[in-house]
A = this chain, B = another copy of it.
């Protein structure tokens, strides 16, 4: 139990770090802990979108609020969206009882959410203009004994590895779910042109599925068609349930929601066949909307909360990126545009 970070919880006492309002982010480590010298944060897409919209894309205001959140909570845990992101850095010190497979000097990405990672920022985020999810930063972060960390691969730029790690739960869980269906199941991916969406499409196809991507506009459709990542690409607003169902056509065996906006639950349910599965990977998912929506539609679908952890998920996603050049190209284009 000590390995889950309880000693870092300041308030309320007794909850786990993710549920805590405030963590102790001091840099001195306990025997099971690891300290990381932070180099870059990668804010969760839903979190960054909320901040950017709140502050009308004013970079200074966005930066000030991120600093304020980290100062107040001891972690980058957006109180509105409930989401965080990840970071990369260099291992500085490893406690004698830590089971994590890292040593000082390793360049790593933390694969647990920033919402539970004690974080201290020491440079005022001076190197960040506030206008991108990728945040150059100096400071320290703490990992507990029970955690997940990935050493950055030598053959990929760190921004690319971080972007892949950020969404690596989605392709691994999709692979597992798709392989549970016989024959050639149909997989619909809402938000197929995004990071988690494109990896999910590639994973579904490799697992033997026929794939349909639902995207928001012609630009994304053309990008995906050129990349050849989906067997079919349709345009629909993921928040419009009737439009989503019509875009997917014959209901899918598996529908994966990779759109980081609220209100996509009902379209995903309507687009899924009886006996099918909906995997929700968006942090903007509403639990009651999903539960009551399925009931209201008399939809016999299995609805999964997208768990960001599947054993081997980071290697799985990096491997997909290496093997599917179109996915890598999409990621590189997104990073370049950031």
Contacts and interface: CB of A to CB of B under 8 A. Distances in A.
Count copies of this chain in the complex.
2
A218 interface: no
A299 interface: yes
Interface string A227-255: 00000000000011111010000000000
A169 B242 contact: no
Given A15-B241, A16-B241, A241-B16, A307 B294 contact: yes
Given A19-B263, A242-B6, A263-B19, A116 B290 contact: no
Nearest to A310: B300
A325 interface: no
Given A287-B285, A289-B18, A293-B16, A112 B298 contact: yes
Interface in A1-40: 1, 4, 6, 14-19
A309 B298 contact: yes
Interface stretch (A60-68, A80-88, A154-162, A188-196): A80-88
A308 interface: yes
A292 interface: yes
5 contacts: A6-B242, A14-B242, A113-B292, A295-B307, A304-B304
Contact of A16 (B16, B169, B283, B296): B296
Q: Which of A115, A242, A304, A305 has the most CB of B within 10 A?
A: A305
A305 B291 contact: yes
Nearest to A16: B266
B266 A15 contact: yes
Contact of A304 (B242, B270, B302): B302
A115 B16 CA distance: 32
A102 to B, nearest CB: 14
Contacts of A283: 287-288, 291-292
Given A14-B242, A16-B241, A147 B298 contact: yes
Given A113-B292, A241-B15, A286-B287, A299 B305 contact: no
A36 to B, nearest CB: 15
